[in-house]
Amino acid sequence: MRHGIAWGHMDRRYWGGEEGGEMSEETIEEFQEERERLNEVVMRYAGLSMKRFYGLDGQVYRDGALPASIKELLGLVSSFVLRCDDCVKYHVVRCHEEGVTSEELEEALAVGLVVGGSITIPHLRRALDAWSELDGSGKGGGTEAE
């Protein structure tokens, strides 16, 4: 399944061991492989309700009145404000696949930062670190906050 919920948070290996801990260091490729594996586990147990939810999730991000790239930015900001690292990473990847520019991503994350406050800064760092891996720049560029 190409599109679905970022269920990786169910796997304790992603977390530092404490509730609300940081996601472990992993490449985008490792993240995607583990996410796919976990989605397969979910689908083995999923009843009709879960399958319908996954289907709805896949459909809502398709082009419509809003292009898919904007919908992915909306998913990113929502996940960012909710502080779901797996979800943020998933939407960063999808934004990249949908052709979102670095400038668009930064503006969307700036909205999330204003809405979510300073508690989202660790998630901002990880989101931009994932973006820098995808765009090949290594470490994130731009200006740093003092």
Provide the pLDDT for residue 138.
66
Count Cα neighbours of 30 within 13 Å in the Cβ-side half-sphere.
Answer: 9
Provide the pLDDT for residue 53.
96
Classify residue 1: in a domain, yes or no. Answer: no
- pLDDT of 62 strictly over 50: yes
Q: What percent of the chain has pLDDT over 90?
A: 74
CATH number of the structural domain spanning residue 126: 1.20.1290.10
Owning domain of residue 37: 7-135
Classify residue 142: in a domain, yes or no. Answer: no
Classify residue 30: in a domain, yes or no. Answer: yes
Classify residue 107: in a domain, yes or no. Answer: yes
Q: Which tops the pLDDT comparison, 139 or 69? A: 69
Distance, CA of 9 to CA of 19 (rounded, Å) = 11
Classify residue 2: in a domain, yes or no. Answer: no
- Predicted TM-score (pTM) of this structure: 0.77
Give the residue-averaged pLDDT of 38-46. 97
Classify residue 143: in a domain, yes or no. Answer: no
Classify residue 140: in a domain, yes or no. Answer: no
Contact 14, 8 (CB under 8 A): yes
Distance, CA of 52 to CA of 87 (rounded, Å) = 19
- pLDDT of 84 strictly over 50: yes
Task: Indicate the number of domains in the chain.
Answer: 1
